[in-house]
């Protein structure tokens, strides 16, 4: 895919800072944070005490203490910054850490494609690290390495005005915006779930393979750890997020049921048509008994569609 960009206004952004910032977050989120240096980042989850998803997030280490403030920038899908700040705030008892929701003035520019990294690096005149979620400053913005399983990419994150300036500069340099519907199709085909759409407060991390890069099974305690670790050692989940593919040009609505041999086995969470191709892609939560690749059928009030159930790109099962 050629290099494209998509803007996400008011992206969820929460800053946690203070002498106890790292130890405070370390006791709550699912990923190991103590070894993360300034300029590095990790994917993580804030779970409920019952082990289900509260907020999926990316934790970027801004300052590492000692000669600089201990500070983290946590970002999450649009509409969830306030929730993340509130959930963290409920646990802030006798710790020296401040929690600030900056979502109202935070934009995210997603740049994807085989030339995304070198083109942004050339424009910003910086070296962008290869490590996932590593980040460098570009003026008032932060460039974050954000590859998808199917393509390279970066995110440009920061104050709304600064990110819009970056978008305009990229457009002038020849980067094109995603065509209507094209971003959604690319996201789905890459198997990237969206919070509140494909995953929500009912989701156990292993159902959407979030544990692959967002959970540490060797760190100390974190909220919701018991269920997640029990599933990892001696259990299983009853459903998985799957990729669906089909020929055609009729997009099934969210909530469409997935059938195998007239038995309902799942529900479509998001779907899109691939632009300029008579091809449909979708994500769906599907019962574990359906082993990919498998033939299935979608049925909704206005139509039906034959699909193939596949594993998510990069997942192991």
In this prediction, residue 316 has a pLDDT band, given cuts at 50, 70 and 90, of low
Q: Are 284 and 244 in contact (CB under 8 A)?
A: yes
CA 135 from centre of chain:
16
Mean pLDDT of the chain: 96
Strand ranges for the chain from DSSP E:
4-8, 12-17, 41-47, 53-64, 70-76, 98-101, 106-112, 135-138, 141-145, 153-159, 176-177, 239-247, 257-260, 263-273, 279-287, 294-300, 303-310
Q: What is the pLDDT of residues 82-136, one digit of tens each?
A: 999 999 999 999 999 999 999 999 999 999 999 999 999 999 999 999 999 999 9
**What is the fold, at CATH topology level, of the domain defined by 106-172?**
Alpha-Beta Plaits (3.30.70)
User: According to CATH, what is the number of the domain 238-317?
Assistant: 2.40.30.110
Q: What is the pLDDT of residues 14-55, one digit of tens each?
A: 999 999 999 999 999 999 999 999 999 999 999 999 999 999
Domain boundaries, the chain: 106-172, 238-317
**pTM across the whole model:** 0.95
């Amino acid at each position: 895919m050629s290099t494209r960009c998509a803007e996400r206004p008011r992206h969820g952004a929460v800053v946690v800072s203070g002498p106890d910032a790292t130890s405070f977050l370390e006791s709550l989120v699912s990923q190991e944070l103590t070894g993360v240096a300034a300029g590095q980042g990790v994917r993580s989850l804030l779970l409920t005490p019952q082990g289900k998803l509260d907020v999926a997030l990316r934790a970027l280490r801004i300052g590492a203490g000692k000669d600089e403030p201990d500070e983290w920038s946590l970002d999450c899908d649009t509409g969830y910054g306030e929730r993340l700040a509130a959930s963290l705030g409920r646990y802030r008892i006798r710790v020296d850490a401040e929690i600030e929701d900056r979502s109202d003035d935070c934009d995210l520019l997603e740049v994807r494609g085989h030339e995304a990294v070198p083109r942004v690096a050339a424009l910003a005149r910086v070296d962008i690290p290869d490590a996932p979620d590593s980040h460098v400053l570009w003026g008032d913005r932060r460039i974050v390495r954000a590859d998808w399983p199917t393509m390279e990419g970066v995110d440009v994150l920061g104050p709304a005005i600064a990110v819009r300036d970056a978008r305009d500069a990229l457009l002038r340099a020849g980067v094109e915006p995603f065509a209507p519907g094209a971003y959604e199709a690319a996201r789905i085909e890459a198997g990237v779930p969206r919070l509140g759409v494909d995953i929500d407060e009912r989701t156990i991390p292993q159902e959407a393979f979030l544990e692959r890069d967002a959970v540490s099974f060797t760190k100390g305690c974190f909220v919701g750890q018991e269920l997640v670790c029990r599933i990892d050692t001696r259990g299983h989940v009853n459903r998985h997020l799957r990729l669906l593919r089909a020929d055609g040009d009729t997009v099934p609505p969210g909530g469409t049921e997935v059938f195998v041999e007239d038995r309902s086995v799942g529900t479509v969470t998001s779907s899109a048509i691939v632009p300029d191709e008579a091809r449909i892609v979708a994500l769906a939560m599907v019962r574990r008994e359906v082993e990919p690749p498998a033939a299935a059928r979608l049925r909704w009030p206005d139509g039906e569609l034959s699909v193939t159930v596949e594993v998510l790109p990069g997942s192991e099962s």
